[in-house]
Amino acid sequence: MEPETKLSQLKTLLNEVFDLYNVIGLLKWDQQVNQPPGGTHNRSHQLSTLYRLYHSRYTSDEIGQLLEDLGLYAAQLEPDSDDARLIKVTTRRYKKLTRLPADLVAEIAQVVGEAHLAWEQARPAADFARFRPYLERIVELRRRQAELFGPNDHIYDSLLDEYEPGLKTADVQAIFSALRTQQVALIQAIKERPQVDDHFLHQHYDEKSQWDFGVEVISRFGYDWNCGRQDKSSHPFTETIGPGDVRITTRFLKDYAASALFSTMHECGHALYEQGIDPGLSRSPLGSGASLAVHESQSRLYENLVGRSHDFWLHYYPRLQAYFSTQLGNVDLETFYRGINKVEPSLIRVEADEATYNLHIMLRLELEIALIEGSIAVKDLPEAWNSRMQEYLGLTPPNDGQGVLQDIHWSSGDIGYFSTYALGNLISAQLWECVNQDIPDLPDQIRRGEFTGLTSWMKEKVHRHGAKFEPQELVQRITGSKIDPAPYLRYLNAKYGEIYGL
């Protein structure tokens, strides 16, 4: 059989696998947005059945044989072509997936289910002891998984690789080492300056007007409503149901306007990425983002580099004031701009500002690596958490609910995930420097509320490639260097230097 025929067979099989993947996306979206309470139990069955089918079709002998047969053919193709990359990325993923025995996959799923229930009780009760045995099991299972994936330079590598293909633990550690002392120093310097007032954000803002303003903004960003929709959910997220159907959600916090505003822009950033992927890559392993960090670079770029910038509000603040004349009529642009950029070390990651956010991440990454290495025991986690919080942010949680128990990730079995948030911030600043070099009048465009240039650039450089390139490779192609903390530090120092008069 000709290799072209085999490639076409492979694509057909992958189409089926990724149809299942997208249907899982719909099941999850529906679960958060529409599902009545009575459907909860059965939705777990459906998800479990679909995941099992997805996994078993992805790891089928048929796909394995085709990939093996296509190895030589792929080597003759132009290395950056869609077909060469499809074979490369699929082969890499196939090898990882087939190293996991089905009973380990099933055991992880079961433990995660129980762990999540335990965490849901432990967090409000601030009772780490209740969660501890489950976390111990999860760490043990993920360690076993990492060993099966191995060998690697570091046992944590293959867990990180699940979210950031190709990235090494040592890379992330080097990046974060360069970042840590400087971010801590910045926060210290800010602390000694007069603080910013943002009380005007903490009052009642009409939900419908918040919704309308958000829609106005992200429509200008380029969100394609013909290929998506926005709903409400308790936690904002973006879900790709398939090419041509990328949905976002938002939420409205009582008496805090900034939540919906910036989360809408954030999710729009994710959605622009998914909507911008070349349709020819859809229904395949190449049809999603390059990695979680690259994804986060897009959400953070639209949320922060654009959405919390002075240029942006020069155009949009009068519009926002028109929606909320009672709340903002007497608040001038400068006060508003400083308010939405207030820096304040806090206990909770999801409420953290741009300057402190990465420190929350570093803390988690260090603890995760230590857990997987075995250099720290789960029982010692709360203490290790609290001492690092004091060191990095000068705070100590009053209890574990506001400390080590705050995040859902570990209870969901996600170990290796956290660093992608901080890496996303770094990449966003790298891309920001590049796009501003390529489009010298970008600030002017933004001051006019125009984003076509920005979003087209992102589509051309980032979005359309889907998962063809690994994150480091993609960042290198665009910016000329790998993931690098320097641009983000420059950005933070310039922005907060100006706001806080450092």
**Which residues are annotated as catalytic?**
267
Instruction: Give the separation between CA 304 and CA 341, rounded to whole angstroms.
Output: 9
Q: Which stretch binds a copy of itself (CB under 8 A): 17-25, 158-166, 309-317, 323-331?
A: 17-25
Q: What is the DSSP code string of 218-242? A: HHHHT--GGG--EEE-SS--EEEEE
Q: By C-beta, is 167 or 246 nearer to a copy of itself?
A: 246
Q: Which stretch binds a copy of itself (CB under 8 A): 41-49, 77-85, 165-173, 331-339?
A: 41-49
Question: Please, what is the minimum distance in Å from the beta carbon of residue 335 to a copy of itself?
Answer: 39
In the list 259, 282, 298, 419, the residue contacting a copy of itself (rule: CB under 8 A) is 282
Q: By C-beta, is 62 or 441 nearer to a copy of itself?
A: 62
CB-based contact 189:422 (threshold 8 Å) = no
Q: Is 42 in the site for a copy of itself (CB under 8 A)?
A: yes
* 502 HSE (CA, 13 A, CB side): 18
In the list 87, 186, 201, 241, the residue contacting a copy of itself (rule: CB under 8 A) is 241
Residues pairing with 238 in the sheet: 248
Q: Which positions ≥6 away from 104 have C-beta within 8 Å? A: 141, 144, 145, 148
For the chain, what is the total number of helices (H) and then of strands (E)? 21, 3
Q: What is the residue whose two structure tokens read 């959910």?
A: 233
Q: Is 35 in the site for a copy of itself (CB under 8 A)?
A: yes
CB-based contact 252:48 (threshold 8 Å) = no
Q: Is 46 in the site for a copy of itself (CB under 8 A)?
A: yes
What tokens were used for 436? 């501003």
Q: Which positions ≥6 away from 204 have C-beta within 8 Å? A: 254, 255, 327
Q: By C-beta, is 23 or 370 nearer to a copy of itself?
A: 23
Q: Is 386 in the site for a copy of itself (CB under 8 A)?
A: no
Q: Is 109 in the site for a copy of itself (CB under 8 A)?
A: no
Mapping DSSP to helix (H, G, I), strand (E, B) and coil, where does residue 331 land? coil
Q: By C-beta, is 39 or 480 nearer to a copy of itself?
A: 39
Question: Please, what is the minimum distance in Å from the beta carbon of residue 28 to a copy of itself?
Answer: 11
Cα end-to-end span (Å), the chain:
69
Query: β-strands 238-242, 245-250: how paired?
Result: antiparallel
In the list 64, 113, 166, 242, the residue contacting a copy of itself (rule: CB under 8 A) is 242
Q: Is 166 in the site for a copy of itself (CB under 8 A)?
A: no
Q: List Cα–Cα distances, 484 to 110, 193, 480, in angstroms.
A: 38, 29, 10
Q: Is 133 in the site for a copy of itself (CB under 8 A)?
A: no
Q: Is 151 in the site for a copy of itself (CB under 8 A)?
A: no
Q: Is 37 in the site for a copy of itself (CB under 8 A)?
A: yes
Distance from CA of residue 158 to its chain's centroid? Answer: 18
Question: Please, what is the minimum distance in Å from the beta carbon of residue 99 to a copy of itself?
Answer: 25
* 335 HSE (CA, 13 A, CB side): 12
Q: Which stretch binds a copy of itself (CB under 8 A): 43-51, 98-106, 394-402, 433-441?
A: 43-51
Within 198-227, which residues bind a copy of itself (CB under 8 A)?
224-227
Instruction: Give the separation between CA 324 and CA 204, rounded to whole angstroms.
Output: 10
Q: By C-beta, is 67 or 241 nearer to a copy of itself?
A: 241
Residues making contact with a copy of itself (CB under 8 A): 15-16, 19-20, 22-23, 26-27, 30, 34-43, 45-46, 49-50, 52-53, 224-229, 241-245, 247, 282-283
